[in-house]
Amino acid sequence: MSNDSTTSAGTRYRVSGTGLPLVMIHGVGMSKDIWKPQQEFFNPYFKVIQYDTYGHGGSPLPPDNAPLNCYLDQLVELLDHLHIERAHLMGHSMGALITNNFALQYPERVARIVPICGVYDRTPKHRERSLQTARTLKQQGAAATLDGTLKRWFTDADYDDPQRCEAIDFIRSFLASTDSIGYPRAYEYFAQHSDETAGKMHNLAAEALFITAEFDPNSTPLMTETMAKNSQHGRALVIANERHMLPTIAAEKINSDILEFLQNGHPQKT
């Protein structure tokens, strides 16, 4: 798009709207364009910053076996490039992982955070399934995991709704066209580092709204409720009858709650 720009380190990003900065961080296999429903909704209220994480969209590849700080450093560089000292963060899936870790490591640069469909303290079964997907992507490419991924991300009822089928096709196109090197590397990062916040959430000082879907098999309601309980100022929101791709397929169910939280925070306890 004509209003895309690039930092000196190569990160591709887009800025729209005015007001307090709100950075949107997409999930693995996606790009900044996935946030279109949120970009349009939040533009009147915030300076919306969407960017491609390493290995996605127009940004460069991450190093092989990327360390945890790789994606955090990318966000630091983007904020510095835009002369932003402090921002709200909203991340989906892998973007939620980045959001949580960034807020823990750079609390002075974070206002409020909205991790959506994030993972936390996975069971051995969850962990091994994620690592197996990473191995399959690396050996066989995105086509080998596409159907399984869509099955996890959408309910059967979604395929009966013509409007939702458009969204599913939109997501399918992202996964089918994603970078053949960047996607496996990013997924490997996601699989290896998804438990980095386990045991650390009590240090999370930022107000946080943790959101997930009732039927998300990987980012479960229990994970979201545990993150909210363990953090200092967290609240959990579980959206009924939905799966993983909440921002795209069920934006109308979450955007207003996110706006209320970002503008006013959590209600004060009495």
pLDDT averaged over every residue in the chain: 93
102 phi, psi to nearest 5 deg: -65, -45
Look at residue 265 and give its three-state secondary structure. coil
Q: What is the DSSP string of 169-222?
A: HHHHHHHHHS-TTHHHHHHHHHHHHTTTTTTTGGG--S-EEEEEETT-SSS-HH
Q: What is the DSSP string of 82-97?
A: TT-S-EEEEEETHHHH
Distance CA 236, CA 84 (A): 28
Q: Which tokens sit at 186?
A: 């990013």
Q: Which tokens sit at 3?
A: 């209003």
Residue 238 within any structural domain of the chain: yes
CA distances from 182 to 54, 102, 108, 158, 270 (A): 7, 21, 30, 29, 48
Predicted local distance difference test score (pLDDT) of residue 268: 66
What would the pLDDT profile of 220-263 be if each residue is shown by its tens digit? 999 999 999 999 999 999 999 999 999 999 999 999 999 999 99
Predicted local distance difference test score (pLDDT) of residue 123: 85
Q: Which tokens sit at 122?
A: 């996975």
Q: What is the DSSP string of 146-167?
A: HHHHHHHHS-GGGGG-HHHHHH
Distance CA 69, CA 125 (A): 26
What would the pLDDT profile of 82-108 be if each residue is shown by its tens digit? 999 999 999 999 999 999 999 999 999
- Give the residue among 3, 130, 25, 26 at the shortest CA–CA distance from 76: 25
CATH number at residue 26: 3.40.50.1820
Q: Which tokens sit at 9?
A: 């380190």
pLDDT tier, 161 (very low <50, low <70, confident <90, very high otherwise):
very high
Residue 190 within any structural domain of the chain: yes
Residue 72 within any structural domain of the chain: yes
pLDDT at position 1 over 60: no
As a whole number of Å, the CA-based R_g of the chain is 17
Look at residue 231 and give its three-state secondary structure. coil
Residue 269 within any structural domain of the chain: no
CA distances from 28 to 235, 237, 245 (A): 24, 22, 12
Residue 70 within any structural domain of the chain: yes
Predicted local distance difference test score (pLDDT) of residue 269: 52
Question: Is 113 within 8 Å of 258 (Cβ atoms)?
Answer: no
pTM (predicted TM-score): 0.95
Torsion angle of alpha carbons 173, 179, 185, 188, nearest 10°?
Answer: 10
Residue 270 within any structural domain of the chain: no
Q: How many domains does the chain have?
A: 1
Residue 180 within any structural domain of the chain: yes
21 phi, psi to nearest 5 deg: -70, 135
Which residues make Cβ contacts (< 8 Å) with residue 80, sequence separation at least 6?
Answer: none
Distance CA 141, CA 53 (A): 19
Residue 148 within any structural domain of the chain: yes
Q: In terms of residue numbers, what domain contains 180?
A: 4-264
